[in-house]
A and B are shown apart, each in its own frame.
Chain A
Amino acid sequence: MIRSLPSSKKYRGGFTLFIILYFIFLFAPLVVTMILAFNDSMYPSLPWQGFTLDWFFGNGPEKYGIFHDQTNLRSLFTSFKVAVAVMIVSTFLGTCAAFLFEQENFRFKNALYFLMIAPLVIPGVILGISILMFSNTIGLFIEDHLGIYVSFLGPGFPLVVLGQSSFISTIVALVVSARLKKFDHTLEEAAYNLGANKAEVLWFITLKYLRPSIIGGAAMAFLMSFENFNTTIFLVGSQATLPINMYMQVRDGSTPVINAISFLLILGTSIFAVVNLTKGNKKLL
């Protein structure tokens, strides 16, 4: 039954087979996607036509690899900009929230805490449309009453960043809170006794202690922003982010350049995941 108990060969073998099948199920789509990035064919499918790097480096006339594909490169850059902005905003908000809920006491604390975790159980689509509608209403109001057209309230970069931050901040807050809970407050007291002021204690003691979780939360925020589709689709303006650009290509039929992008992204996220997990940041899903 378990390690310490005797079990029949059949039971153990059957269970192992199930796990092997499960892992094949888990990895098959990823492995196939990665391999087909190197197939010398115009379509992401078999038969195998030979090995090529054209879908990475090809520069026409037939095949444009990812490094020469202007549309995809532009959306990659857009996603990168968005992800950096979201990382900064949500790391700041999340860390503030962690301090607020772990170290301060105030009226309606529980109600506010409930509001903070609510974005985790609100579907991303709803966050997207509600923020779109709200900012549109504000934009119309300003235009009607002040006669100014405020462009950042329409779909576009600022709205995407705000929309994604609305729920990614919560995740950073939970990651940072988990570490702040274990903080030994005698360290702070010792620093006060030695004459440090509040800002110094915060900077040299508490934040220093929190650094691994803040870095972990920020990395997580970057990745979640980079991959987000559901919220972004409603807020994006003329500049598509990478997932949205890829979605349109996948839906309408694509060349293996999508596989090449996927190859790079899978490689990137895997390295990122393994580094994070082996460093023991188990809180990071």
Chain B
Amino acid sequence: MMKNRQHIKWGFLFFFLPVVLWLFLLIVLPHLELLRLSFSKANTGKFTLDNYLAFFKEPIYWLTFVRTAGYSIIVTFLVMVISLPVSFYISKIARGRMTGALMILILVPFWVSELIRVYGWMILLRESGILNHFFVSIGLFKEPVEMLYNDITMIMGLVYTSMLFMVVPVLGVMDDLDNALIEAAYDLGASKISIWRTIIIPHCASGLVNGGIIVFMLVLGSYLTPNLMGGKNSLWFTEQIYNQIILYFNWNQGAAFGFLLLALSSLIIWVLLKLTKQNLKEVVK
């Protein structure tokens, strides 16, 4: 017994040390450093609030921040609205092998990198793009129209790139929904709308929240889609961070922006978790 216990101790350290090193060297300490730099002056390293004050003084900064947050919420909501009927169809309407085939089909595009998917949309939508070529040749448009570089296209692109992270959890809970509940409601004369409102959506709430957290975080932190499909004026907050760090080499300002973004995403996730009385552990499962 004694011997065995000693072995367990060594085994514990073998697993414990790499994990602790990973979490402290790559997660905890870097974020503390980010926080420290965000409160430091550029050259002297003295304590200052200037980096945060600049954020509130310059309308372009906080407007971008508010805009990014607002659009992220809209995108998350749109993704929820689209994912519900899609997963309902796959889980409850499609028959037999069709369900499996659709499942695979729906997952495949999302393994492809975000850059390629955005590139595909650029080829389709730009002034010399496929859709313009098509519309002009059938006479619907007189001349090509630029369909890229506006907010609506950008929102569509963000919905497209983040959809999977909602469809998968919603499909999961939709599968668990007992068909008998819907049948009973139907037999008792419930309308489709009330079946959706009182049975299906409440049942899917946990999947929607889990998906919502991941989608919101991804959209808030995305760079490629707003940069390539949205307007050219750096109006997504990650672009401001990129500009400060890579273009202006103002790391302290960039650190403050980074911390604000982190605070916003943590806050919204925390609120969502509190509202639905869940914890992060359950969400990532």
Contacts and interface: CB of A to CB of B under 8 A. Distances in A.
B265 interface: yes
Interface string B249-285: 0010011001001100110010000000000110011
A77 B103 CA distance: 33
Given A19-B89, A123-B265, A197-B7, A285 B241 contact: no
A84 interface: no
Given A96-B14, A120-B284, A262-B116, A115 B23 contact: yes
A277 interface: yes
Interface in A96-149: 96-97, 99-100, 104, 106, 112-127, 129-134, 137
Contact of A266 (B8, B23, B112, B262): B112
Interface stretch (B51-59, B73-81, B117-125, B201-209): B117-125
Chain A interface size, as a band, is 35 or more
A166 B27 contact: yes
Interface in B192-214: 192, 195, 213-214
Contact of B123 (A32, A114, A123, A165): A32
**DSSP majority for the B interface?**
helix
B7 A198 contact: yes
B60 interface: no
A126 B115 contact: no
Contacts of B118: 250
A10 to B, nearest CB: 12
Interface in B117-173: 117-124, 126, 128-130, 133-134, 160, 164-165, 168
B34 A126 contact: yes
Interface residues of B, number: 98
A129 B241 contact: yes
Interface in B39-88: 82, 85-86
A208 B242 CA distance: 44
Given A124-B221, A278-B104, A104 B12 contact: yes
A28 interface: yes
Interface string A227-270: 10110011000000001001100110000001100100110011
B130 A165 contact: no
Contacts of A97: 15, 19, 22
B76 to A, nearest CB: 14
A1 B182 contact: yes
Contacts of B114: 227, 229
B235 interface: no
Contact of B223 (A226, A229, A258, A285): A229
A2 B92 contact: yes
A1 B195 contact: yes
B168 A285 contact: yes
A111 to B, nearest CB: 10
A22 interface: yes
A183 interface: no
B179 interface: yes
A226 B241 CA distance: 23
A116 B22 CA distance: 9
A251 to B, nearest CB: 7
Interface of B: 4, 7-8, 10-12, 14-16, 18-20, 22-23, 26-31, 33-34, 37, 82, 85-86, 89, 92-93, 95, 102-124, 126, 128-130, 133-134, 160, 164-165, 168, 179, 182-183, 186, 192, 195, 213-214, 217-218, 220-224, 227-228, 238, 241-242, 245-246, 251, 254-255, 258, 261-262, 265-266, 269, 280-281, 284-285
22 contacts: A26-B105, A26-B106, A29-B121, A30-B109, A32-B124, A36-B123, A44-B123, A45-B123, A97-B19, A97-B22, A104-B15, A106-B12, A112-B23, A121-B265, A123-B265, A125-B241, A126-B258, A127-B27, A132-B245, A198-B7, A198-B11, A229-B115
Interface of A: 1-5, 12, 15, 18-19, 22-23, 25-30, 32-33, 36, 43-47, 92-93, 96-97, 99-100, 104, 106, 112-127, 129-134, 137, 162-163, 165-166, 169, 174, 197-198, 202, 223, 226-227, 229-230, 233-234, 243, 246-247, 250-251, 258-259, 262, 265-266, 269-270, 272-274, 277-278, 285
Given A5-B186, A23-B106, A266-B116, 18 more contacts: A5-B183, A22-B86, A44-B123, A45-B126, A100-B15, A115-B27, A122-B262, A125-B223, A125-B241, A126-B34, A126-B258, A129-B255, A166-B26, A223-B111, A250-B115, A258-B119, A285-B164, A285-B165
